[in-house]
Structure 1
Amino acid sequence: MENNIDKGRKGELIAKEYLVSNGYNILDINYRNKIGEIDLIALDKDILVFIEVKTRTNTKFGYAYEAVNRKKQEKIIYCSQLYIKQNRLLDYQMRYDIIEVYLTPNLKINHIQNSFC
């Protein structure tokens, strides 16, 4: 039986493959700094995208995106600002997305673009 960490890693891998197959260029995976972590960082053409991946096996306790509350959003935003400064990416437009991965018999991926800012 998989634990939550294994499910999360599996979901991130599925999300990464989904993004690559849709033309995204992956810049970083599980980026960490003193503020927090961002699951995936990618370029969608000329837009810098910070992606939070949420993986679930069912919706018994709600939809995956609901786990990205305001506090989590703020942490991702502050973390992304540090990433931008460290990597001198100030000239890019940016976007915050959530990808829901449902590990059900019929795998479901839901990509929510511009999910917060």
Structure 2
Amino acid sequence: MAEHNDKGKEAEMLAKDWLVANGFEFVAANYRYKHAEIDLIMEKGGILVFVEVKFRSGTGYGYAEEFVDYRKRQLIIRAADHYIYEKDWKKDIRFDIVGVYRNKSGGIAFKHFEDAFY
């Protein structure tokens, strides 16, 4: 697996653990539908949360939320629609972005954007 894929999987695991520590319940990871993938599916307060995780080792090239463009959002929404139909989910949903940032000394920070798009 390429190094950027390894970092992405590590970031997803870190984000999942961080969200669980902040009151979210883990539902699924890496849900795929056709060409789309949802990194994490979590639940909190009766709301199903579809989470896109972005890793950055600094902000020189931009912030995590800037890398979820229109096309990526549409793919996530399409996969979420399929998941909702498949599970017969009848409650509220939202789409979040979690940025995972590693500084030069190896420290990890998180930036959570709730209800980031739809």
Q: Following TM superposition, by how much is the alpha carbon of 1:59 offset from its aligned partner in structure 2, in angstroms?
A: 1.0
**Matched residues, percent identical?**
39
So what's the TM-score if we normalise by structure 2? 0.93
So what's the TM-score if we normalise by structure 1? 0.94
Q: Following TM superposition, by how much is the alpha carbon of 1:107 offset from its aligned partner in structure 2, in angstroms?
A: 1.3
**Does the CA contact (< 8 Å) of 1:31 and 1:38 recur in 2?**
yes
Q: Following TM superposition, by how much is the alpha carbon of 1:37 offset from its aligned partner in structure 2, in angstroms?
A: 0.3
Q: Following TM superposition, by how much is the alpha carbon of 1:106 offset from its aligned partner in structure 2, in angstroms?
A: 2.9
TM-superposition CA deviations, 1:40-68 (whole Å, max 9, x none)? 00111100100000001111111111110
In structure 2, distance between residues paired with 1:101 and 1:28: 19
In structure 1, distance between residues paired with 2:40 and 2:67: 17
Q: How does 1:1-117 map to 2 (within 5 A)?
A: 3-89=3-89, 91-104=90-103, 105-117=106-118
Mark the runs of 5 or more structure 2 residues left unpaired by the alignment.
none
Q: Following TM superposition, by how much is the alpha carbon of 1:98 offset from its aligned partner in structure 2, in angstroms?
A: 0.0
Question: 1:9 is aligned with what amino acid?
Answer: K
Q: Following TM superposition, by how much is the alpha carbon of 1:86 offset from its aligned partner in structure 2, in angstroms?
A: 0.6
Mark the runs of 5 or more structure 1 residues left unpaired by the alignment.
none
Give structure 1 regions of 4+ aligned residues with deviation exceeding 6 angstroms: none
In structure 1, distance between residues paired with 2:16 and 2:113: 14
In structure 2, distance between residues paired with 1:63 and 1:22: 22
TM-superposition CA deviations, 1:7-62 (whole Å, max 9, x none)? 10110011000111011111110001114100000111100100000001111111
In structure 1, distance between residues paired with 2:78 and 2:100: 24
Question: 2:63 is aligned with what amino acid?
Answer: Y
SS in 2 for 1:114: coil
Q: Would you say how many aligned residue pairs link Structure 1 and Structure 2?
A: 115
